[in-house]
Structures are given as structure tokens and as C-alpha cells.
Amino acid sequence: MEQHHNHANGGAQFANVSKCPFAHGSVGVFPYPGYVHGKNPTISVEYQDLFHKEFHSSPEVKAARIKEILESIEATGTYSHTFDELQHGARVSWRNAPKCSNRKFWDTIQLRDKRHVTTAEACTRPAWRCLNWLATLVLLSFSSQCSLLSIR
């Protein structure tokens, strides 16, 4: 178990961090909940290790992607995930959520990439569509149950 120092609020505080047995890094509360303390110099490279391992990518494909990421970080200070990297990240997050009873469906998440959205309206529109779709399913289910009850 590692200890990370937090000198905020004038005193030293320690956050215990457990290493993941699957080489996914470790999760603790310093500097914020869910922060991943990676074993590699950058978290982006560590995620690429996981991503390409689970997708059975060739070493050449993995090396090319890591080179692209590091060049982007060097030039701009950041990089963009591919759609597949984002979707797999969302799936892995669900898969690794220990208290979620439905995580067995982790590999069925379908990501809707809205990184191009720039307005609040465009940001909320997909959520409203999803809620309307769910409400329609509930109403259809309820009405079909009521129909079956009235037949008897």
C-alpha cells in the first residue's frame, strides 16, 4: 500500500492507495476522489497499455498510437481520445464499479460522442431524447399491461 502526501490545509494528510492486481494503476482520494496513480510516467500511456492489451492490438499499432499521443501532448499539452478509446473507457469504468449490480452488461454500453457540442441546448438535447424514449417504453409497457388486465 502506497501513501501519498497531501499538504493542503496546513498539515500532512495521507491517502492510502491500493495497487490494482491487473496493472490498471491504483485509485485513491489524493488529490481528488477517483484520481488514478499510474505506474507509467503518464496516465495516457497507462490507459493505452490497458486498451491495446484488451483489444489484442499489435505492438506496432500500440506504439504508433502512443507516439501520436506523446507528440500531441508535447505540442499542445493535451490529446484527444479516439471514439473506441472513449467507449472502452466508459465500459471499463462500469465493469470495475464493484457496487453496481448490473455491471455484467458493461460491454453493451453504446457511447454517444458529443465532444463537438458547444451549446447548453445541444448538450442537453440527447439527454431529453433518451428520457423521452425511456418514458415511451414505460408508457407502452404500462398500457399493454392495462390492456391485458381489462381483457380478463
- 22-46: pLDDT as tens digits: 555 555 545 544 444 433 346 778 8
pLDDT band with cut points at 50, 70 and 90 for residue 76: confident
Q: Is the pLDDT of residue 148 over 90?
A: no
* Structural domain range at position 5: 1-39
Q: Which three cell numbers stand for residue 32?
A: 481528488
Residue 68 included in any domain: no
Residue 152 included in any domain: yes
Tell which wins on pLDDT, 112 or 55: 55
pLDDT band with cut points at 50, 70 and 90 for residue 139: confident
Residue 73 included in any domain: no
Residue 130 included in any domain: yes
- Provide the 3-class DSSP secondary structure of residue 14: strand
Mean pLDDT along residues 72-89: 87
Residue 10 included in any domain: yes
Residue 91 included in any domain: no
Domain count, the chain: 2
Of 89, 5, 108, 83, give the one whose Cα is nearest residue 43.
Answer: 89
Residue 50 included in any domain: no
Contacts of 47 (CB under 8 A, 6+ apart): 85, 89
Mean pLDDT along residues 72-94: 87
